[in-house]
Amino acid sequence: MNVLKRSFFRVSIRPSFVYSHRIRSFGTGTIPQEKIINGRKVAQATRKRIKQQVTEFTDIADRAPGLAVILCGARPDSAAYVLSKTKMCGKAGMPSFQYNFPENVREEELWATINYLNKSESVDGILVQLPLPKHLNQDKIIGSIDPNKDVDGLSIRNVGCLTHYGDAPLKACTPAGIMTLLDSTGVDLTGKNAVILGRSDIVGKPMASLLLARNCTVTICHSRTKDIEKHTQRADILIAALGKPEYVKAHMIKPGAIVIDVGINQVEADNEKGYKLVGDVAFAECAEVAGQITPVPGGVGPMTIAMLLQNTVQSAWTRYKKSLVDTSALGPGVSIFGERKFYY
């Protein structure tokens, strides 16, 4: 199949990062470390656990879990995200298979590649890097991925399980990572008012389902919501995923609230690069009001990739176990591993 000639195999092994626990300075003041939800630190611990799971799987299945990533076009940000994902695969001892296509790729080419990957015994997870070029139908492309290999958690089956059961074999990576960050705070989520800014299929909607499953009272605010500040000011947990640089200001936050900043925006800056990265939250001023807060970068981002690896391992175990036993009697979302359940 000539469509596969554009592919190449990449594995990267690099040493682990080490992060400090010093007080961090932002703006004119200093923010105590205990206020910072350190996504890099939590992600490092998560990846360490995943690496052990990969070793266990490899010993039993005689192969490592494999992730295939499809990239369409030459967007620098998408290429950087894909590179980060493949590097992290290598660190976890997992092979990654990257398929690059030009901006004008035909849907038929993508379908042929995805069909090949759906059948591949070496591939446990398939990820199509979003956004896709405008001429491609994103829903159809995502829908063609085998739900058992849908490590982005965007297929109708996985979304349906998450909405109905409050859990799914493969959950959307960013919301799953946020839940891990929230758990790292040690705060009991039961009964908390959680406000989500943004209703996207990738973050807002699955985030609401996960928080509901943990007995939060959830409000989703969006571009048509009136008096957003009235909602944010009563939030015990505020999750900002709007894509608007530093939209959330200090006066919008309830004192002591947990603030999760999903946004990552490039704005002009007087430095060598000519730009800097900021979130959807005005970090320096909001950190003075919040009880705990994620920085940008170094907050949600590292957890998203860690959850992608976790989903790939989860898929590998599910597929391996299914090859050994008949699981047709099990309902959707039911673990077939007993104690070996890697839902997070």
Of the candidates 293, 216, 228, 232, the one whose C-alpha atom is nearest the C-alpha of residue 258 is: 293
How many helices and strands in the chain, by DSSP H and E?
A: 10, 13
Q: Which of 299, 305, 248 is nearest to 277 (CA)?
A: 299
As given in the structure block, the two tokens for residue 344 are: 């997070």
Q: Respond yes or no: is residue 152 known to be catalytic.
A: yes
Judged on CB neighbours under 10 Å (0-12, 13-18, 19+), 57 is buried
Which residues 6+ apart lie within 8 Å of 338 measured at CB? none
Pairwise CA distance, residues 263 & 222, whole Å? 15
* Candidates 41, 53, 85, 261; catalytic one: 85
Residues near 259 by beta carbon (within 8 Å), at least 6 away in sequence: 238, 240, 248, 253, 281, 286, 290, 292, 293, 294
Residues in the chain: 344
33 is catalytic: no
| Residues in contact with 341: Cβ distance below 8 Å, sequence separation at least 6, in sequence order | 335
The enclosing H or E element of 60 equals helix 39-61
**Which strand (E) or helix (H) includes residue 107?**
helix 107-119
Mark 8-39 as b/e (b = at least 16 C-beta within 10 Å).
Answer: eebbeeeeeeeeeeeebeeeeeebeeeebbbb
- In the set 152, 236, 261, 280, the catalytic residue is 152
Tokens standing for 291?
């009880």
Catalytic annotation, pick one of 98, 129, 310, 314 = 129
* Burial readout 181-198 (b: 16 or more C-beta within 10 A, e: otherwise): bbebeeeebeebbbbbbb
52 is catalytic: no
Residue 264: other Cβ atoms inside 10 A:
17
Active centre residues (catalytic): 85, 129, 152
